[in-house]
Amino acid sequence: MDDRLTLAVHDLEVQVLTGIYSEETHLPQPLRISIDVELDCPARFEPDTPLGASKNYLDLKHAATTALPVGVHFTLIEGVADHITETLFLQDRRVARVQVKIVKLAIAEAGESIGMTLVRHRS
């Protein structure tokens, strides 16, 4: 079995144009986005191992925030997740698997988490 490294950025709150109902289509709505990225990794991480042996966590944050196209309406949050996944695959060839969980904050009534999780593997 190959060793893998999982990097995580969880609970980013991002305003995104998404939704299918008329009240959702003209204003951004808050989404809570969590990302897990699986990478190939070296046999060991020594104390002086450079950042290039891993991946900058800010790359994950960027994929879920500033890399989302401004003014683009995503009908489904699944489309948002796919865009994040593709951004991460394009950023780094070592990314083998991406999991994106999105919770739609605006529709929660009693603190529940309503959303979806998308998992993609590099083909």
How much is the pLDDT for 1? 52
In the numeric block, the tokens 């991460």 are attached to 88
Boundaries of domain holding 82 = 4-48+73-114
Give CA separation, 55 vs 3, 37, 48, 61, 73, in Å. 15, 10, 15, 12, 29
Q: Does residue 122 fall inside a structural domain?
A: no
Could you tell me the pLDDT band of residue 120, with boundaries at 50, 70 and 90? Answer: very high
Higher pLDDT, 34 or 113: 34
Q: Does residue 93 fall inside a structural domain?
A: yes
pTM of the model: 0.91
Residue 80 has pLDDT above 90, yes or no: yes
CATH number of the domain residue 11 falls in: 3.30.1130.10
Q: Does residue 106 fall inside a structural domain?
A: yes
Higher pLDDT, 56 or 123: 56
Phi, psi of 119 (to 5 degrees): -120, 125
Q: Does residue 79 fall inside a structural domain?
A: yes
Q: Does residue 108 fall inside a structural domain?
A: yes
Residue 24 has pLDDT above 80, yes or no: no
Residue 43 has pLDDT above 90, yes or no: no
Angle at 41 between CA 101 and CA 14, to 5 degrees: 25
Number of domains in the chain: 1
Averaged confidence pLDDT in the chain: 92
